[in-house]
Structure 1
Amino acid sequence: MTSALLTPWWRNRAAQAPSDDAAGSTDPTRILDWQDPRVRALVQVARAAVGNTDDARLLRAAHQQISNRVRPVYSGNDARPVSQVLARGRGSCSQRLALLEAVARSSGIATRVRGLVVDGRFWYPRFPRLKVLVPDSVLLAWPQFLLDERWVDSSELFGTLVELAEGSSPGFTNAGGETLFEALPRTALDWDGRTSDLGTCSACDLSARVVVDLGLYDSRDLLFREQGQTLSWVARTLVEPILGRWGP
């Protein structure tokens, strides 16, 4: 049993028709405040690790640096500026994905996000004794990066979905210490069922978990402004002191 008590009762998210209209941007935002010295320093470390090479390798190096520097926790505040995430040294999957976006934008790589409303039961393995407190749905801001004049989903930053699916077993289970952020280099995070043959469901196919596809947004700031965050303001205020320090 999931809970609707933690999410605003008036929220009614509707699926959007497929569109590629979101142009993305390299501009800083309230969340992606990449002009902060801490973010710039992270970019320099990632760039030093790969030299003057292609943008994809830079983002992979940045992903590793973020994994090393920011401890995973269950924060409920998706709109926290990435500079604060770095300063705290801990962050949720969403916050660390935002940090990867900030690195990209700071390096001149445009980003945008896809809004995915995911069934809250997807998180049951993480909270087996607290299922009643799991939100009935979770809003993900899933980043895309403009690499070589082509939008690349974060799921394919480390290879195509087919390549990642073939090289990983099992797929992502949302259990243990591996979050969606950690899983990016290891396995295919397939929100569209592209790794499944007709009439089958691959171990990496997460499409059945998607309740609503909200389409593309120029920034995660815009997504959360228009669609709200997963938790209501009251719920975030109450649970953040605990979730913000509790890791997988």
Structure 2
Amino acid sequence: MDRDLLVAAHRLIAARVRPVYAMNDTQPVSRTLLLERGSCSQRLAVLEAVGRACGIAGRVRGLLVSGRFWHPRFPRLRALVPRQVVLAWPEFLLDGEWVTVSELYGDLSTLREEEAFTNIGGETLFDAVARTAVDWDGVTASSCDLSGQVLADLGYFSSRDALFRAHGQTLCSPARITADLVMGRRSA
């Protein structure tokens, strides 16, 4: 039942919160909902908040991902893409087991049969989990394997706020504010 609730929430967020290239990973969920737009990370934060509000325990896994992962999405802006990006990847406690957001719609071995996420076009990681495997650990041994993009596993944190307190956001405040002004309304 909790999984169904999270899947329904994921679908609702995908339908109601427009994906954009925002940079503030600690933006309050209330602000994302008010603006009706958010980055992949900000939309995942909304899903985490829904889970907590419904009594579903959650945590995030911190990953340090290579900036090259985003080069296909920003081919003309490669020089501006950071060399590494701190990524908060949510997990939910469902039926006594931690389930990554990658497996809300099914296990990775089943989802890997779909076309892989390419990070090109309008689909974000948030959207991709609904149709394909997003495999940060290399367990699928398929085109869905993104483990080669992971520079470091930062471990598990009780919340995304705890992760970003410990490791900071990808961009420093002045760069993040400037980038948000330029990119924050641009559709993904």
TM over 0.5: yes
Q: Does 1:238 align with 2:178?
A: yes
Matched, 1:177 2:177: no
**1:218 and 2:165 are equivalent in the alignment:** no
For the residues of structure 1 that align with 2:176 and 2:137, how far apart are their CA atoms?
30
Deviations 1:33-59 (A, max 9, x none): xxxxxxxxxxxxxxxxxxxxx000000
Q: Deviations over 1:66-120 (max 9, x none)?
A: 0111000010100000010000010000000000000000000010000000000
**Secondary structure of the structure 2 residue equivalent to 1:186:** coil
Specify the SS of the correspondent of 2:90.
strand
Residue 87 of structure 1: which of 30, 34, 44 is its match?
34
Paired with 1:225 and 1:183, the residues of 2 have a C-alpha distance of: 27
Runs of 4+ in 1 over 2 A off after TM superposition: none
Matched, 1:187 2:151: no
In structure 2, what residue type is equivalent to 1:183?
A: A
CA drift at 1:185: 1.1
Q: Offset at 1:151?
A: 0.6
Structure with max Cα Rg: 1
Partner residue, 1:158: 105
TM-score under structure 1 length normalisation: 0.75
Shift in Å, 1:247: 1.4
What runs of 5+ residues in structure 1 fail to find an aligned partner? 1-53, 197-201
Matched to 1:66, the amino acid is: I
Which amino acid in the other structure matches residue 174 of structure 1?
Answer: N
Q: 1:148 aligns with which of 95, 107, 111?
A: 95
Distance of 2:176 and 2:76 partners within structure 1: 20
Distance in 1 between residues matched to 2:69 and 2:85, nearest whole Å = 9
What are the superposed Cα offsets for residues 122-142 of structure 1, whole Å, 9 maximum, x if unpaired?
A: 101111111100111111000
CA distance in 2, matches of 1:58, 1:124: 34
- 1-structure distance, mates of 2:25, 2:120: 21
| Structure 1 CA distance for aligned equivalents of residues 130 and 15 of structure 2 | 14
Q: Per the alignment, in what secondary structure is the counterpart of residue 3 of structure 2? A: helix
Q: Report the residue type matching 2:105 in the other structure.
A: F
2:65 maps to 1:118: yes
Task: Please tell me whether residue 101 in structure 1 is matched to residue 48 in structure 2.
Answer: yes
Give me the whole-angstrom Cα distance separating, in 2, the residues matched to 1:74 and 1:138. 14
* Unmatched 5+ stretches in structure 2: none
Map of 1:66 onto structure 2: 13
